[in-house]
Chain A
Amino acid sequence: MTRSVPLIYVENITRSYENGAVVALRKVSLKIYAGDCVAILGKSGSGKSSLIQIMGGCDSPTSGTVFWREEPVRNQQEWRELRATEIGIIFQEFLLLSVLTAIENVEMALMGRGLSAKERNLRAAELLGMVGLGKRLHHLPSALSGGERQRVAIARSIANNPALILADEPTGNLDSANAAAIIDLLLEIQKTHGTALVIVTHDESLAARCRRRVRIRDGLIVEDGLVLKERDLVENIVVADDRASSSAPPAVVSAAVGLRVSDPQQCVSDPQQ
């Protein structure tokens, strides 16, 4: 996969509700590349959640097309297949099945992938170990803290080695300490696996830890650019051409829709670094 081919491309997406009375997205286009780390920012009701739901195929656009590796995704069956193999989704409310233990919740995502029950169990245990829940495998969600539940949801989302993780306000229901830990975990996964990560948030500090920032206002993308540390700004200024802003770090290379950079590990592990 070359960097020139977007992993997912939403083209001229419009999403309206109530027979057009409410328009959440207006002809929005966005390209996400393999290994991208993108924060989608916006106020409540700006359309960011609608966008991420359409990117995951959980919702259908009123008009426009979504391309996965340059192929249009035509129906729910194709979306289901993508969500089962290529796209992992994380929600603000964790959305775990309350009757299943942590390991069973992760195993759910591995069903239908040609693995035996034992293989599913081993893989789920490995994933939960990876997110720091090796000793909480058999706990029900009700016995886990908010941070732990989100870790289970993260383990579930990466169960099938997705190329893209969509996280819809993953820290929205967490305290600051847990939120930081969850973001660290997501960025670590993004870094080590080269997975593209799209995080919807209204938290500017969280967004600053992602290399690329997309801001939505009233259903329109009003900003799409790189968040660069001062050092990166110098390295990437050539790539960004003369469109880059020279404002104080973290700087934004603004209006560079679908901007490509050479470094696939784009997320800033620690904004204070």
Chain B
Amino acid sequence: MNLVTLALRNLQRRVARTAIVSVSVGLAVASALSLVALSDSIERGSSEGMDERGADLVVLSRNASDVFSSFIPEDQKGKLVAIPGVEAVSGELVMFAPIDKDKQKLVTALESESFFWKRMPMASGRVPRADERRAVVLGAESSETLHKGVGDKINIYDADFTVVGISKYQSSINRSMVYMVLSDLQEIAFRQKQVTMFQIKLQGRPTSARIDAIKAQIAKIGSWVASPTDQLLQRDRNLLVMKAISRAVSLIALSMGALSVLSALLMAVQERTREIGIMMAIGWTRARTMASIVFEGVLIGLAGCLTGVPLSYLISLLFERIPTIGDIISFRPTVAMVLPTLIVSVALCGLGSLYPAWRAASMSPADALRRP
């Protein structure tokens, strides 16, 4: 018999209450994990997407608060190509665009001669030919959600396109993308001669020192900022705001879970006043008496995590299938996210149980034993 056994037995005596509090903690954990996964998936997904397509550096306008507000004149490409060590540069226009009137998809438009077209893995069909207009390649997920295959027609910004291929990229962002030729998107979105970013492929295997040197050279050319793909969204204001909101909401959700632990344990302490008196009467220290109650909070926290983690995976799967959500966002909690969330939620549940534990340990044994 130890403190954990005692805490477990005490939780088992009120199975329904323990289950309800654990589920409420679980929901808080699931919400927190989903929010963290959501903001992380955008950042990680963008980075993975760039990596998968083989870019080493991404050049954005220095003054852009986020990717979508970056505008760079297309004709600046030559300055980047001239930098020693740069193998290829591809201008790219990226935006959310209305597809078939009511669906929003992320559309990436690439120069017809871009090295990305050559490297694009295809599940079926082909990439647009150099002189071909109004042709698109769908990511596998876009193909599924839009129910479109090779040869089907698709409407983007009130212009009709033909699906000429389905790519087989693995990253979620590339899977949910619609690819078209740059000039087409510039025309239909009224963004002539503009790109969102330049993607740069460097020669050989670039060392970090070489990458830094090239970044410095790019910064000298104009008000641009070059970032490795894994740092692409570090300065993205929208993402920073979203991350801050998701962390704040996560913390609020977890605090609500901790509050439910506090409330349940306060009730439990009230009910078990005499038993707490017994502990004191047989010489248990304040610390041990408190620990026996804090363990209950921690165990509820762990039970909540056991419920919450699978629940967050279920939520991510469910959301993918809801068209109004799944068409726009996709996220999946990772093991790396689970651990900090578990630590925070268990710690908060432990904190939530401190007050009831303190109240219990502060009673005089005589008072506690006098209670009915």
Measured CB to CB, the residues of A under 8 A from B are 53, 56-60, 76-77, 80-85, 87, 89, 91, 95-100, 103-104, 107-109, 111-112, 117, 120-121, 156-157, 160
Contact = CB atoms under 8 A, between A and B. Distances in A.
Contact of B369 (A58, A76, A97, A109): A58
Contacts of A89: 281-282
Given A58-B364, A58-B369, A59-B364, A97 B278 contact: yes
Given A58-B365, A58-B369, A108-B279, A99 B13 contact: yes
B1 interface: yes
Interface stretch (B2-10, B151-159, B324-332): B2-10
B283 A156 contact: no
B275 interface: yes
B53 interface: no
A100 B275 CA distance: 11
A117 B9 contact: no
A100 B8 CA distance: 11
A132 B239 CA distance: 70
A117 B1 contact: yes
Contacts, number: 84
Given A97-B275, A100-B6, A82 B283 contact: yes
A95 B281 contact: yes
Given A58-B366, A98-B13, A120-B1, 18 more contacts: A53-B366, A58-B280, A59-B364, A60-B364, A80-B283, A95-B277, A95-B281, A95-B369, A97-B275, A97-B278, A99-B9, A100-B9, A104-B1, A104-B5, A107-B1, A108-B282, A111-B3, A111-B288
A112 B1 contact: no
B284 A80 contact: yes
A178 B369 CA distance: 24
Contacts of A84: 282-285
A126 to B, nearest CB: 15
A169 to B, nearest CB: 13
B10 A99 contact: yes
Contacts of A87: 283
Contacts of A58: 277, 280-281, 364-366, 369
Interface in B275-327: 275, 277-286, 288
29 contacts: A53-B365, A53-B366, A57-B365, A58-B277, A58-B366, A58-B369, A59-B365, A60-B364, A76-B364, A80-B285, A81-B283, A84-B285, A85-B283, A89-B281, A95-B274, A95-B369, A96-B278, A97-B6, A98-B13, A98-B275, A100-B1, A100-B6, A100-B9, A103-B1, A104-B5, A109-B283, A111-B3, A111-B284, A157-B282
A112 B284 contact: yes
A83 B364 CA distance: 14
B145 interface: no
Interface string B250-280: 0000000000000000000000001101111
Interface in B328-366: 364-366
Contacts of B281: 56, 58, 83, 89, 91, 95
Nearest to B8: A99
Contacts of B278: 95-97
B65 interface: no
A157 B2 CA distance: 18
A103 B284 CA distance: 17
B63 interface: no
Nearest to A159: B282
B12 interface: yes
A60 B281 CA distance: 13
B11 to A, nearest CB: 9
Contacts of A82: 283
Interface in B206-230: none
A166 B330 CA distance: 67
B282 A156 contact: yes
